[in-house]
Amino acid sequence: MENLNLFIRSIFIDNMIFAYFLGMCSFLAVSKNVKTAFGLGIAVTFMLIVSLPVNYLLDTYVLQPGALAWLGEEYASVDLSFLALIMFIAVIASMTQLVEMVVEKFSPSLYASLGIFLPLIAVNCAILGCSLFMQQRDFGSAWTATVYGAGSGIGWLLAIVGIAAIREKLAYSNIPKPLRGIGIAFIITGLMGIAFMSFLGIKL
Amino acid sequence: MLSKKNKGILFNPLSKNNPVVVQVLGICSVLAVTAKLEPALVMGISVIAVLAFSNVIISLIRNTIPNNIRIIVQLVVVAALVIIVDQILKAYTYEVSKALSVFIGLIITNCILMGRLEAFALSNKPWPAFLDGVGNGLGYAIILVIVGFFRELLGSGSLMGCKVIPQSFYDMGYMDNGLMILPPMALITVACIIWVQRSRDKDLQEK
């Protein structure tokens, strides 16, 4: 039950895009048509599901103060938490490489349409950010961390598909010249953010 | 030291080629840390430092990095610098470091860094690379400060934590606009900056 709550919370209330603005660069750059946006959303969700449990285990059994106690008495006082950033990013970068190879093998068309953005997932802040939030929140188990990752990923997917659909329709509207392109995309994201704020009142 | 070309490298990113509003890089932190002016300022300075030094380091070792693994090398250099900045902030400005929470760590994945390393530092000498880093960092910091200024002024009626809107205004019925503190207004503030800049500079407008 608790995991279900966390799942719904991370999709709607703590939405990666609208509440924390994570992964904004690719969100704005790849949201010109729904199909590509959907592909990128799936890739991000998948990366989150894969990388969060790994980072969770790394954090619990290697990095936290006293986490190395399983190695023996003399390691119990070791605190490696300052290394968290570099370890997380290394895990994410290597996982991205892996996902890239899998996608290239099984879905060449998706691979071609994602293009440069697949390797750039490594530097998508949504993924590193999710790992850092996971570290701050002290989840109880790797399973909870996975649920959190899946929820955040689906929230991100929802947001990017939503804005891509709006931007497709926007091609037909008459926007003031200086706002065309990126300006109006910002405003729409802001309005969508306000809409998502209506979920804030929900108590789970 | 500062030839014409180097001046261009240093000052172009401030307006014509601004990393945030023109190249649209590094948006996440612009939006997330600007509810108050002080964290925005600290964040801006941190990014300038990390960007300048990572540009210099990558530029120094650019001829020895194998092409296939350059992304990992860049990430490691940036991550090491960010860890240093993070530890310094924790030691000297603990309150601000708390307010910035994960966003200092997220400098690693700030697209401005990767963008500048890929586009500039990998193919230029250390001194121009340093200037490019400082220039782009400043361009980023300026936007942060502008957004932070308006959001804090209109949202909580203060600047750097000091009240600037006099009490008499409140007595007359003026109210702080709570919406400005909330995340969505950051996006709309940036959109307004883009609007102003692009209506002054017609070359930047999209078709």
**What's the rounded mean pLDDT across residues A132-139?**
84
- In this structure, of A175-189, B18-32, B183-197, the range with the lowest mean pLDDT score is B18-32
pLDDT digits (tens, 9 = 90+) for B80-116: 898 898 888 888 888 888 877 778 888 887 778 888 8
pLDDT over 70 (residue A117): no
pLDDT digits (tens, 9 = 90+) for A54-102: 989 888 888 887 777 777 777 777 777 778 888 888 888 888 878 778 8
pLDDT over 70 (residue A115): no
CB A96 within 8 A of CB A119: yes
Give the residue with greater pLDDT, B29 vs A95. A95
Give the residue with greater pLDDT, B88 vs B164. B88
Parse chain B into domains and list their residue ranges: 21-198
Q: Which helix (H) or strand (E) holds A42?
A: helix A34-58
Query: Residue B56 and residue B132: Cα distance in Å, rounded?
Result: 10
Q: Who among B28, B102, B187 is closest to A133 (CB)?
A: B102
* Sign of the alpha-carbon dihedral angle for A45, B144, B113, B200: positive
Contact yes or no for B87 and A82 at CB 8 A: yes
| Residue from A79, A167, A182 to probe the interface with B (highest B Cβ count within 10 Å) | A182
**Which pLDDT value is given to residue B2?**
66
Distance between the two ends of chain A, CA-based, in angstroms? 10
**Which pLDDT value is given to residue A114?**
67
The model's pTM is 0.82
Query: Residue B78 and residue B92: Cα distance in Å, rounded?
Result: 21
**What's the rounded mean pLDDT across residues A23-45?**
82
**What's the rounded mean pLDDT across residues B51-65?**
89
The C-alpha angle with vertex A156 and arms to A153 and A162, in degrees rounded to 5, equals 140
**Which pLDDT value is given to residue A154?**
93
| ipTM of the predicted assembly exceeds 0.90 | no
Contact yes or no for A184 and B102 at CB 8 A: no
Contact yes or no for A83 and B32 at CB 8 A: no
Integer CA distances (angstroms), B99 to A26, B5, B104, in order: 25, 39, 10
Cross-strand partners of A115: none
Query: Residue A125 and residue B39: Cα distance in Å, rounded?
Result: 19
pLDDT over 90 (residue A29): no
Contact yes or no for B184 and A136 at CB 8 A: no
pLDDT over 80 (residue A122): no
Spatial CA neighbour of A133 closest among A95, A192, A88, A97: A88
pLDDT over 80 (residue B1): no
Mean pLDDT estimate for chain B: 83
